[in-house]
């Protein structure tokens, strides 16, 4: 009888919760890791190919997990903790340690937030405040930020949310290097730090990050206009399809799940090209021309089919285009955009737009084991798959596995391998590359690269996550997409000369005992090198040749070059 009651409550909660859609940002990794753990253990079932998830969906899955008797003690405590974080989505006010409470609101110091709900309107305002300190043999720098996050749900279907954080870096304690060396995210750097557009200063630099949007949702779908980060492709150390590393960009979104065996994601986004358009400019009051950037758009869809429980097969395609205006054909969510492009640009005698296809397979059919692979194809010629062909298709693939809570409880073992061929993500027209603000939208390693990632993640108690990880990343010869020599470029050996490598061993500790209050410590030993080319001295058309130090400067901030043991620690409210 008890199981029947719990099952009924789960179904009713699912129907009631599904009509709101505020995305939970991908930076809150603990909730994403917890849901992945529950799914891998067979407690819940869902499609993990596209993030962010909505807060209502997360709350729905937490309710679903509550009825499962196989949760261990730590998981049940985590479940209770996260349900308090998503209390408004569960139609109640959260419980706090220090608070002022009325019938319809709470004002809390721990967790720091203001919450309000009535029969029509609910809202959550959270302060954002934090500081990280990073230290190695090259000196130290601090990263500080402040801001606020607002989430509102109006009626049963409408959601409005927004967040703003202002961040500054003080690198005045660095030794024998410019303060700009502490700006660890740049478009050419081969690391997975979130991308930002820095404003450099005498102390280091600063930037602001504003996200938000409005969404209308119903029980089996949602539509919205948002500015946010998105991740497509299963992964535990960066996706090779859409990684979410580039700065957030505005987009139209459509999400449909009309039946249990089919789901669709679609976006149409406004990207930043970083390419000046010589035909578009302002004239200032001195008569000088102030040029504007060329337009750049993305349209992408992903269709997921679930033929049997816990097996998700996803396929999709996308296009980057740089027309003066939005092209209506790319607003069609189910279109095959390469075909549309051939129709729209036929006979112009110029380059087509830049289209891609991708697929993702995720299997949790074996309890405690998640197997996955994702493939991103920039362009495909089937003749290049023949053994006799020297040319290789510009393709990136990722394969991986996660063994969770078996044979050791609360321990996950992860293995992931990524390989990306030459000139994948690139294009001969700079405005059409797979990037925004210069940051690659796919793998953080870019093209002609490989990565092996191994990790052991242990959760000894509620709110405490410890991980030990090993990364072996390599980048080969660097090429531009030169249309005159592209056949010769993609005929070169994969990797070829190793021009850059990163071997790292990292120990991470994350603690979130109180909702919305987050502490972390990380120590990483890294050996990051640049290499002189070792093959014959001649270069081919399209190759970017440099010295070992030249490659190192291109791909790595000076602060992290060579052998370093880097310690980072910090505390944040609101993440």
Residues in CB range of 468: below 8 A, 6 or more apart? 455, 456, 505, 506, 507, 508
Question: DSSP state, 25?
Answer: P
Residues in CB range of 395: below 8 A, 6 or more apart? 375, 376, 377, 378, 380, 420, 421, 424
Rounded distance between C-alpha atoms, residue 499 and residue 548, angstroms: 7
Q: Tell me, what's the pLDDT at 567?
A: 98
Beta bridge partners of 363: 311, 371
Burial (Cβ within 10 Å: 0-12, 13-18, ≥19) of residue 201: middle
Tell me how far the alpha carbon of residue 406 is from its chain's centroid: 28
| HEC-encoded secondary structure of 235-277 | CCCCCCCECCCCCCEEEEEEEEEEECCEEEEEEEEECCCCCEE
Residue 95: count of CB within 10 angstroms of its CB: 15
Q: Tell me, what's the pLDDT at 2?
A: 45
Asked if 322 and 432 touch (Cβ cutoff 8 Å), the reply is yes
Which residue do the tokens 């209308």 mark? 216
Rounded distance between C-alpha atoms, residue 514 and residue 96, angstroms: 9
Beta bridge partners of 567: 135, 523
- CA distances to 27, 119, 214, 424 from 125, rounded to whole Å, are 18, 18, 16, 42
Q: Tell me, what's the pLDDT at 379?
A: 86
10-residue averages of pLDDT along the chain (575 residues): 41 48 95 98 97 97 94 97 96 91 92 93 95 96 96 96 95 93 95 91 90 97 97 97 97 97 98 92 89 95 97 98 95 95 78 91 98 95 85 95 97 98 95 96 97 98 97 96 90 92 98 91 98 75 93 97 97 85
Beta bridge partners of 290: 282
- CA distances to 85, 181, 470, 507, 514 from 526, rounded to whole Å, are 36, 16, 10, 12, 32
Asked if 109 and 98 touch (Cβ cutoff 8 Å), the reply is yes
Task: Domain ranges for the chain, please list them.
Answer: 1-92
Does pTM surpass 0.85?
Answer: yes
Residue 39's SS3 state is helix
Rounded distance between C-alpha atoms, residue 215 and residue 225, angstroms: 6
Question: DSSP state, 177?
Answer: S
Rounded distance between C-alpha atoms, residue 521 and residue 135, angstroms: 12
Residues in CB range of 206: below 8 A, 6 or more apart? 166, 167, 168, 169, 198, 199
Q: Tell me, what's the pLDDT at 202?
A: 87
Question: DSSP state, 54?
Answer: B
Rounded distance between C-alpha atoms, residue 495 and residue 291, angstroms: 38
The separation between the first and the last C-alpha atoms of the chain, rounded to the nearest angstrom, is: 42
Tokens representing 340 are 């549309």
């Amino acid at each position: 009888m008890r199981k029947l009651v719990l099952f009924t409550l789960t179904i009713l909660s699912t129907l009631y919760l599904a009509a709101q859609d505020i995305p939970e940002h991908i930076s809150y990794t603990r909730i994403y890791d917890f849901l992945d753990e529950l799914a891998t253990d067979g407690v819940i079932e869902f499609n993990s190919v596209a993030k962010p998830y909505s807060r209502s969906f997360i709350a729905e899955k937490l309710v679903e997990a509550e009825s499962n008797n196989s949760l261990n003690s730590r998981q049940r405590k985590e479940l209770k903790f996260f349900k308090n974080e998503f209390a408004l989505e569960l139609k109640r006010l959260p419980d706090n340690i220090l608070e002022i409470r009325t019938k319809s609101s709470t004002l809390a110091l721990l967790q720091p937030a203001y919450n309000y709900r009535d029969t029509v309107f609910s809202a959550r305002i959270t302060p954002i405040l934090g500081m990280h300190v990073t230290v190695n043999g090259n000196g130290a720098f601090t990263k500080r930020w402040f801001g606020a996050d607002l989430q509102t749900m109006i009626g049963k279907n409408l959601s409005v949310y927004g967040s703003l954080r202002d961040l500054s870096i003080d690198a005045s304690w660095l030794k024998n290097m410019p303060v700009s060396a502490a700006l660890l995210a740049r478009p050419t750097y081969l690391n997975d730090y979130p991308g930002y557009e820095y404003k450099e200063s005498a102390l280091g630099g600063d930037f602001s990050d504003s996200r938000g949007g409005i969404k209308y949702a119903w029980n089996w779908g949602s539509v919205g206009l948002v500015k946010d980060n998105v991740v497509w492709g299963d992964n535990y150390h960066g996706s090779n399809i859409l990684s979410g590393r580039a700065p957030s960009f505005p987009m139209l979104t459509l999400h449909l799940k009309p039946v249990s065996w089919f789901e669709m994601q679609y976006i149409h986004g406004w990207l930043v090209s970083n390419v000046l358009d010589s035909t578009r400019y302002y004239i200032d009051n001195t008569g000088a021309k102030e040029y504007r950037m060329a337009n750049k758009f993305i349209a992408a869809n992903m269709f997921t089919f679930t033929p049997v429980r816990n097996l998700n097969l996803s396929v999709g395609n996308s296009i980057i285009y740089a027309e003066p205006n939005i092209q209506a054909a790319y607003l069609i969510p189910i279109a095959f955009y390469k075909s549309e492009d051939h129709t729209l640009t036929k006979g112009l005698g110029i380059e087509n737009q830049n289209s891609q296809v991708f697929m993702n397979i995720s299997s949790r059919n074996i309890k405690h084991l998640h197997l996955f692979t994702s493939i991103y194809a920039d362009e495909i010629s089937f003749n290049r798959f023949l053994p006799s062909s020297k040319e290789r298709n510009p393709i990136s693939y990722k394969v991986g596995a996660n063994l969770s809570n078996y044979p050791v409880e609360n321990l996950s073992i992860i293995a992931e391998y990524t390989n990306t061929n030459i000139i994948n993500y690139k294009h001969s027209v700079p405005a059409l590359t797979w990037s925004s603000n210069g940051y690659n939208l796919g793998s953080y390693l870019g093209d002609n690269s490989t990565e092996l990632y191994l990790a052991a993640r242990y959760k000894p108690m509620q709110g405490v996550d410890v991980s030990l990880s090993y990364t072996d990343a390599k980048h080969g010869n660097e090429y531009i997409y030169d249309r005159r020599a592209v056949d010769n470029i993609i005929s070169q050996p994969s990797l070829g000369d190793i021009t850059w490598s990163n071997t790292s061993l990292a120990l991470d500790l994350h603690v979130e005992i109180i909702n919305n209050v987050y502490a972390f410590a990380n120590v990483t030993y890294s050996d990051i090198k640049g290499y002189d080319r070792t093959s014959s001295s001649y270069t081919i058309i399209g190759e970017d040749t440099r010295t070992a130090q030249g490659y190192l400067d291109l791909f790595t901030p000076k602060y992290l070059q060579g052998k370093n043991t880097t310690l980072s620690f910090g505390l944040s409210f609101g993440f």
